A and B are shown apart, each in its own frame.
Chain A
Amino acid sequence: QKEVEQNSGPLSVPEGAIASLNCTYSDRGSQSFFWYRQYSGKSPELIMFIYSNGDKEDGRFTAQLNKASQYVSLLIRDSQPSDSATYLCALNSNSGYALNFGKGTSLLVTP
């Protein structure tokens, strides 16, 4: 079973702080890595994607990938209360287009 592991949280950070969300995976053949944000009762919303080792920045968000250690992380700078949501790590392997999701980390940004 190819696993995607995330700490369920909740991760609580004060407004303006950096939130760090982590994800580990077991499938070494994983090729593409995605972070989705999901508000309660809503659909997953794409935040970031990363294909290569290293960092990728987009606004307040930075995705970090380390394939050797099999982890991918998401940093959210200057966290806002509106960032409070569940963050889903997802990836697909070399064998297909299906996304394998983690259970998500609940983030709470307190004013």
Chain B
Amino acid sequence: EPEVTQTPSHQVTQMGQEVILRCVPISNHLYFYWYRQILGQKVEFLVSFYNNEISEKSEIFDDQFSVERPDGSNFTLKIRSTKLEDSAMYFCASTGRGQGARRYQPQHFGDGTRLSIL
């Protein structure tokens, strides 16, 4: 079964450094997402991406964050000048196109990247 893949599985970075998290969504999917989950807390939406542009973003997704689809397969999340509070699991998800009342298709999640800021 197709799956979303994320690399690296664990990233350790010094505070203030830039980090890029990578995702390969399911190949025929059109919508891509990033979520984060701070340890012991709920999964939080960061951003959605469709047709090579951001379609939605949360209050968390400030100027420190950016997303890019540099080629036909990869989807990246960049965090500039990382802070201690950026330590979390970051999940990439993707979904296909739905229609009508079922336009919100289930989102399939990758295994995540554990980001640790020191």
A45 to B108, CA, bound (A): 7
A31 to B102, CA, bound (A): 8
Which residues of chain A come closer than 8 Å to B86, judged between CB atoms? none
A43 to B56, CA, bound (A): 22
Taking a contact as CB atoms under 8 Å apart, the answer to whether A98 and B56 are in contact is yes
Taking a contact as CB atoms under 8 Å apart, the answer to whether B91 and A97 are in contact is no
Taking a contact as CB atoms under 8 Å apart, the answer to whether B43 and A101 are in contact is yes
Q: Which of A72-111 contact B (CB under 8 A)?
A: 88, 90, 92, 96-104
Taking a contact as CB atoms under 8 Å apart, the answer to whether B106 and A46 are in contact is yes
Pairs across A and B, CB under 8 Å, 8 listed:
A31-B103, A42-B112, A43-B112, A49-B106, A90-B43, A97-B48, A97-B55, A98-B33
Expressed in whole angstroms, the minimum distance between the Cβ of A103 and any Cβ of chain B is 4
Binding site for A on B (CB under 8 A): 31, 33, 35, 41-45, 48, 50, 55-56, 58, 89, 91, 93, 95, 101-104, 106-112
New contact pairs (12) apart from A31-B101, A31-B104, A51-B102, CB-CB < 8 Å: A32-B104, A34-B107, A36-B109, A44-B43, A44-B109, A49-B106, A92-B104, A97-B31, A99-B43, A100-B45, A102-B42, A104-B42
Binding site for B on A (CB under 8 A): 31-32, 34, 36, 42-46, 49, 51-52, 88, 90, 92, 96-104
Which residues of chain A come closer than 8 Å to B58, judged between CB atoms? 98
Expressed in whole angstroms, the minimum distance between the Cβ of B1 and any Cβ of chain A is 11
Expressed in whole angstroms, the minimum distance between the Cβ of B109 and any Cβ of chain A is 5
